[in-house]
Amino acid sequence: MRIERTSDWSQYGKGVLVVVLCTVLAWLMFPHFALANLVMVYLLGVVIVAARCGRGPSIVATVLSVAAFDFFFVRPYLTFAVSDAEYLVTFTVMLAVGLVISTLTVRLRQQATVARSREQRVTALYAMSREFASTRGIKKVLCIAVQNISQTFDSQVVILLPNAVGRLQAWGNVTGWWGQEINERSLFAPDSHDQGVAQWVYDHGQLAGQGTDTLAGAKALYLPLIASRGTIGVIGVRPAQPQRFLWPEQLHLLETFASQTALALERVELATEAQRAHVHTETERMRSSLLGSVSHDLRTPLAVNKGTSSSLLKGRATLNPATQDEMLQTIYDEAERMNWLVGNLLDMTRIESGSVQVQKEWQPLEEVVGAALTRLESQLRNHPVTTNLPADLPLLTLDSVLIEQVLINLLENAATYTPAGSPIDLSASAARDAITVAIADRGPGIPSGDEDRIFEKFYRVASADSQRGVGLGLAICRGIVEAHGGRIRAENRPGGGAIFRFTLPLQRTPPLVAPESDAPTDQPMTANNPHH
Chain positions contacting ligand ADP, by CB under 6 A:
409, 413-414, 417, 441, 443-444, 446, 454, 460-461, 464, 469-475, 498
Kindly tell me which of 201 and 475 has the beta carbon lying closer to ligand ADP. 475
Kindly tell me which of 226 and 348 has the beta carbon lying closer to ligand ADP. 348
Kindly tell me which of 94 and 411 has the beta carbon lying closer to ligand ADP. 411
Alpha-carbon distance of 121 to 1, in angstroms, equals 9
CA distances from residue 85 to 92, 158, 174, 306, 494 in whole angstroms, order as listed: 12, 68, 78, 132, 110
Kindly tell me which of 62 and 413 has the beta carbon lying closer to ligand ADP. 413
Kindly tell me which of 401 and 464 has the beta carbon lying closer to ligand ADP. 464
DSSP string, 169-204: EETT-STTTTGGGS-GGGB----HHHHHHHHHHHHH
Alpha-carbon distance of 416 to 411, in angstroms, equals 9
**To the nearest whole angstrom, how small is the minimum distance from the Cβ of residue 127 to ligand ADP?**
50
Kindly tell me which of 39 and 407 has the beta carbon lying closer to ligand ADP. 407
**To the nearest whole angstrom, how small is the minimum distance from the Cβ of residue 305 to ligand ADP?**
21
**To the nearest whole angstrom, how small is the minimum distance from the Cβ of residue 278 to ligand ADP?**
21
Residue closest to ligand ADP when measured from CB atoms: 469
**To the nearest whole angstrom, how small is the minimum distance from the Cβ of residue 518 to ligand ADP?**
33
**To the nearest whole angstrom, how small is the minimum distance from the Cβ of residue 492 to ligand ADP?**
9
Query: What backbone phi and psi angles, to 5 degrees, belong to 343?
Result: -60, -45
Cα dihedral across residues 412, 414, 419, 421: positive or negative: negative
> Is the Cβ–Cβ distance between 439 and 426 less than 8 Å?
yes
> Is the Cβ–Cβ distance between 101 and 232 less than 8 Å?
no
Beta strand residue intervals within 338-399, DSSP E: 361-363, 385-388, 396-398
**To the nearest whole angstrom, how small is the minimum distance from the Cβ of residue 530 to ligand ADP?**
13
User: What torsion do the CA atoms of 26, 27, 31, 36 make, to the nearest 10 degrees?
Assistant: 30
> Is the Cβ–Cβ distance between 444 and 369 less than 8 Å?
no
**To the nearest whole angstrom, how small is the minimum distance from the Cβ of residue 387 to ligand ADP?**
17
**To the nearest whole angstrom, how small is the minimum distance from the Cβ of residue 145 to ligand ADP?**
47
Amino acid at site 286: M
Kindly tell me which of 43 and 376 has the beta carbon lying closer to ligand ADP. 376
> Is the Cβ–Cβ distance between 493 and 513 less than 8 Å?
no
Beta bridge partners of residue 361, listed in sequence order: 398
Kindly tell me which of 225 and 474 has the beta carbon lying closer to ligand ADP. 474
**To the nearest whole angstrom, how small is the minimum distance from the Cβ of residue 461 to ligand ADP?**
3
**To the nearest whole angstrom, how small is the minimum distance from the Cβ of residue 283 to ligand ADP?**
19
Residue 394 is given by DSSP the state P
Kindly tell me which of 218 and 472 has the beta carbon lying closer to ligand ADP. 472
Helix, strand and coil percent figures for the chain, each rounded to 5: 55, 15, 30
Kindly tell me which of 64 and 414 has the beta carbon lying closer to ligand ADP. 414
**To the nearest whole angstrom, how small is the minimum distance from the Cβ of residue 469 to ligand ADP?**
2
Give which of 121, 120, 113, 101 is closest to 61, Cα–Cα. 101
The CA angle 381-414-412, to the nearest 5 degrees, is 65
Cα dihedral across residues 269, 127, 144, 220: positive or negative: negative
> Is the Cβ–Cβ distance between 441 and 467 less than 8 Å?
no
Beta strands 498-505 and 230-239: pairing type? Answer: unpaired
DSSP string, 76-145: STTSS--S-THHHHHHHHHHHHHHHHHHHHHHHHHHHHHHHHHHHHHHHHHHHHHHHHT--SHHHHHHHH
Kindly tell me which of 212 and 409 has the beta carbon lying closer to ligand ADP. 409
Kindly tell me which of 70 and 404 has the beta carbon lying closer to ligand ADP. 404
Kindly tell me which of 326 and 482 has the beta carbon lying closer to ligand ADP. 482
Cis ω on the peptide bond leading into residue 76 (within 30° of 0)? Answer: yes
**To the nearest whole angstrom, how small is the minimum distance from the Cβ of residue 303 to ligand ADP?**
20
Cα atoms in the 13 Å half-sphere on the side-chain side of 503:
12
**To the nearest whole angstrom, how small is the minimum distance from the Cβ of residue 445 to ligand ADP?**
6
